[in-house]
Amino acid sequence: MTTSRRFADRKVDRFEKNITKRGAVPETTAKKGKDYPVGPILLGFFVFVVIGSSLFQIIRTATTGGMA
């Protein structure tokens, strides 16, 4: 079975159009750097836990005289 010349030309044209489009990424698919992966409430809670834990450890160390 042979393909028709018109069908083959159409496939070649479609392939050549695809070649010229390579590397042209539309701007809508590129991620903007302004969106945070976590929300501000979760980030605030994490900072509160870390700083609160370190302050609690300092106070406990100071009250026991440094001997844990």
The alpha carbon dihedral of 39, 44, 47, 50 has a sign of negative
Taking alpha carbons only, the member of 39, 18, 45 closest to residue 10 is: 18
Domain positions in the chain: 38-68
Whether this prediction's pTM lies above 0.85 is answered by no
Cα separation, 5 vs 2, in Å, equals: 9
* pLDDT tens track for 7-21: 889 988 888 877 766
Residue type, 26: P
pLDDT at 28: 67
How far apart are the C-alpha atoms of 58 and 66, rounded to whole Å?
A: 9
Quote the pLDDT of residue 32. 64
Q: For the segment 40-59, what is each residue's pLDDT rounded down to a tens digit?
A: 899 999 999 999 999 999 99
Q: Which residue has the tokens 């590129």?
A: 30
Q: Which residue is associated with the tokens 């030309």? A: 9
